[in-house]
Structure 1
Amino acid sequence: MTKRVLLVEDDASIALVITAALEAEGFEVDRCDSIADRDRFLARHHYKLLLTDVMLTDGDGIETLGGVREADPALPIIILSAQNTLDTAVRASDTGAFEYFPKPFDLEELIRTVTQAIGKAEATDIDVPQDVTQGLPLVGRSAAMQAVYRMITRVLRNDLTVLILGESGTGKELVAEAIHQLGNRRSGPFIAVNTAAIPAELIESELFGHEKGAFTGAVARSIGKFEQASGGTLFLDEIGDMPMQAQTRLLRALQSGKVRRVGGRDEITLDCRIVAATNRDLLPMIAAGTFREDLYYRLAVVPIELPPLRERTDDIEALSRHFLAKAATEGLPRRQLSSTGAEILARQPWRGNVRELRNFIYRVALLAREEVIDAVAIEPLLTQSEGASSPRIDDVSPPATSDLAYAVSAWLTDNAPPHGEIYDAALAAFERPLFLNVLAQTGGNQLRAAQQLGINRNTLRKRLSDLGISPEDYLVRD
């Protein structure tokens, strides 16, 4: 039987390469470069597979696939795209596409996938609305992030347990939130638990809840995080720091699908998806006997490994511009990044990953004296340490009083007369982002933050209260 494939690609060189490779494998290939021609070909012939680009000469190839799906629900579709964002990957998944390949792609893998798709000759109905993807905080078009996006799309239509691996600051909780927001349980709650921040003696009570009188201080029944996440997603962050006893109870809960509150007798059936994360290498911990091997395999049904920023340097410029735009919405001056500024940022190792870059960009936005941020503005803030090519954000000295005074006075000159309520509002516009960034850098330690700011601790506490700043505002998530 003829294996006839329709290729819709407006880049002639890419179309030629794909066609030659498919024909070498025995496929018959029809080619076109527009949506209109695609629809004419599909109306005239029966195809085993549709292979289509997204941005075509007459429109968006994904947006118009609805009619194709209605006409032939069983037609396997493979989507190619140079628009390499999570939004594109999810939109491709929403069409019921068999696979999504970001450009550039591995040609041999593409041909293998075409063969597999035709062999299965099936598609999956997907019901996630496209607007769900708007506003997701995952930024990056590098090959490393494309792999992450593709893994995310694979877990959206099921409740398989996911283990997110990656260094501190790579965005593990953001990936967990994306899986929740785009998945089947998006209408339910997203409950995040930092297991490293809970005292060992309280972790079981936090996760499973407790009955009144279960222990000293248990004056009332408490509903645990598993129950709170019912119908939604439970995110267990820093799972590698969980005590062994709690690991055993967690494993039992995952195996049985039930939990029992501390001091309780009744078993409660679980109804939540589990997503866990850690910045630790769990395999050596298993060998050392500090992490249960059976729990690891129960959690790592689908592992997603986040790349450190040094392995996705192509994304640094896009991330920096994203953070500058976000900083402007939070009261900092609106800034632009020049090409020289982007180049010097891309050369830094960013050992604290995306979190460190974010904090640094906020600081530059505050202290830069020009609207356009270039290498001249960035270099003074990049202190060099012996044997290192660039600093961690924690290594950067706090801004000198004169620099801060200059930034404040310059902003006031450009934006408002310094008197009365207008002065107070202007000062608050600078104090709030400054306090948030310094507190984020110090991990919420108010004493260290006050020392860096050059004020006493009581003054800082009062200003935080006046500005309505709480720990939730400055404790940055993975």
Structure 2
Amino acid sequence: MTSGRILVVDDDAAIRTVVREALRREGHVVETAATVAEQRRKMRDFAPQVLVTDVILPDGNGLDLVPEMLEVNPDMPVIVLSAQNTLTTAVRATEQGAFEYLPKPFDLGELTRAVADALAMRAASGRDAIDAGGGEDLPLIGRSAPMQEVYRTIARVVANDLTVLILGESGTGKELVARAIHDLGPRAGRPFVAINMAAIPRELIESELFGHERGAFTGAAARTAGRFEQAQGGTLFLDEIGDMPFEAQTRLLRVLQTGEFNPVGGARSIRTDVRIIAATHKDLPKLIADNAFREDLYYRLNVVPVRLPALRQRMEDIGELAAHFLERAAADGLPRKRLTADAIDRLSSHNWPGNVRELENLMRRMAALSREDWITAAVIDQQFSTSIASDAGPVIAAEGGLADAVEHHVARYFATFGRDLPPDGLFDRVLAEVERPLLKLTLAAVKGNQLKAAKLLGINRNTLRKKLTERGIDPSDLRRMG
């Protein structure tokens, strides 16, 4: 459990004492205050990481002071205690920006858990790492409202073993969230094992997950432990769970139900002790409707859903993210670069179909290729015009057909990463780059008429609408173009 500096504000001396001692037993450093004036002084001198405050104080209202306290320390979670146990108080606490609201009389265990959750949220959002100068190792970055909701959900699940399902587009940072949940929880220091279902041949998935005995199949010369055994005592991250073959889903469901599994070709059962975190960019309910995913497995996995926003839904985080990736690039030995204000504006106008991963790749590429210390909007425009993430349309060579252009395009993608392979998800990335200009140009040609566009493309209208949403295309813009 993460320890922290906690300020407890209550005019009742008995409550201050009980709460202080309970939090100190959890390893926290605790200061107390009985008035608003004392609270303001200790906010300045003690600099708490979490504030626990009563509503009714002798010289003011603790709830009214929450915005003021957050202005002094915007990254400090506030836990509000109140004997005014009404819905209005709870709603006001949320509206004022409180992290948690606990009605009096409150359970001490519930309060200590709320404090632990609040500290975990700070750690997940990287605030304490920033204070300590460890910015390059932040697990997650962003102060936008969508990311704050992600941090809050993470904070509520780190201390338990509930199964988590992380949902979000490719490149949004699903594995980072899984690692944050593992590293901030009681299984930290034990194995974190990740397996990508989309990267393993269907016939090998069961062996990869559960291991196999010698002679279980041709080429099985020795017993091999699977990912469940490798993750024993820790966390197993099942990435791209939507790509798991149906027959393997059945075996996984049985493990989740019984806590036991048999290696391929083995008769003995092995008891497993792992926390399961799964992730996918696919629409699992649709896969269920198409009989491609088990409904009972979905409900086993979807105990706590964490929905990651696309980068275009959290544009206010662009500047902080871009600066972070440039710092990471410098730490890896690339030239140190900085962004001008107009560069950040230009980045914020891009659609980012590849999400945070696309932004990171762009920053590393500019750190390596840009000759100037400061990166301007003009430099970014130049990169966008030649980059794999270009939003300007398809790259078609003056001579040769589309196949030649795509081959040239993909070859340049691999060349960008030198000796390293590009990030996983290349098929979807390239497909998106082809689909986006195809959809935009088709809709522009028919003046935004989706029925005509669907007919011209040879797909139904619902499929067209879904693809427009996936690619972030607004048909009204194309109607104006036409």
TM-score bracket, shorter-length normalisation: 0.5 to 0.7
2:41 and 2:205 mapped to 1: Cα distance? Answer: 48
Partner of 1:21: none
C-alpha distance after superposition, 1:94-134 (max 9, x if no partner): xxx689xxxxx974635898764435443235598998964
Partner of 1:178: 180
Segments of 5+ residues of structure 1 without an aligned counterpart are 9-37, 46-51, 66-77, 100-104, 398-431, 449-478
Distance 1:434 1:267, change over 3 A: same
Partner of 2:104: 118
RMSD: 4.0
Distance 1:84 1:281, change over 3 A: farther
Q: 2:94 aligns with which of 97, 101, 109?
A: 109
Partner of 1:234: 236
Partner of 2:390: 391
1:303 and 1:139 mapped to 2: Cα distance? Answer: 20
**SS at structure 1 position matched to 2:142:** coil
1:202 and 1:248 mapped to 2: Cα distance? Answer: 15
Partner of 2:363: 361
Distance 1:223 1:442, change over 3 A: closer
TM (norm. structure 2) is: 0.63
> What is the identity, as a one-letter code, of the residue corresponding to 1:118?
K
TM (norm. structure 1) is: 0.63
1:157 aligns with 2:159: yes
1:98 and 1:295 mapped to 2: Cα distance? Answer: 38
1:146 aligns with 2:145: no
- 1:236-275 to 2 correspondences below 5 Å: 236-275=238-277
Distance 1:41 1:353, change over 3 A: same
Partner of 2:320: 318
The answer to whether the Cα contact below 8 Å between 1:330 and 1:433 also exists between their aligned partners in 2 is no
Q: 2:278 aligns with which of 273, 276, 286?
A: 276
Distance 1:343 1:152, change over 3 A: same
**SS at structure 2 position matched to 1:275:** strand
- 1:355-434 to 2 correspondences below 5 Å: 355-383=357-385, 391=390
> What displacement does 1:198 show?
1.0
1:124 and 1:216 mapped to 2: Cα distance? Answer: 55
Partner of 1:435: 417
C-alpha distance after superposition, 1:216-274 (max 9, x if no partner): 11111011100110111000000000000000000000010111111111111111100
The answer to whether the Cα contact below 8 Å between 2:207 and 2:264 also exists between their aligned partners in 1 is yes
**SS at structure 1 position matched to 2:202:** coil
1:44 and 1:324 mapped to 2: Cα distance? Answer: 43
The answer to whether the Cα contact below 8 Å between 1:84 and 1:146 also exists between their aligned partners in 2 is no
The answer to whether the Cα contact below 8 Å between 2:10 and 2:34 also exists between their aligned partners in 1 is no
1:41 aligns with 2:26: no
**SS at structure 2 position matched to 1:223:** coil
> What is the identity, as a one-letter code, of the residue corresponding to 1:305?
R
The answer to whether the Cα contact below 8 Å between 2:9 and 2:32 also exists between their aligned partners in 1 is no
2:315 and 2:252 mapped to 1: Cα distance? Answer: 37
> What displacement does 1:57 show?
3.0
**SS at structure 2 position matched to 1:192:** strand
> What displacement does 1:159 show?
0.4
> What is the identity, as a one-letter code, of the residue corresponding to 2:236?
L
The answer to whether the Cα contact below 8 Å between 1:54 and 1:62 also exists between their aligned partners in 2 is no
2:245 and 2:420 mapped to 1: Cα distance? Answer: 31
User: Percent of aligned positions with the same letter in both sequences?
Assistant: 48
1:289 and 1:164 mapped to 2: Cα distance? Answer: 21
Distance 1:250 1:327, change over 3 A: same
2:163 and 2:340 mapped to 1: Cα distance? Answer: 42
> What is the identity, as a one-letter code, of the residue corresponding to 2:417?
F
The answer to whether the Cα contact below 8 Å between 1:162 and 1:275 also exists between their aligned partners in 2 is yes
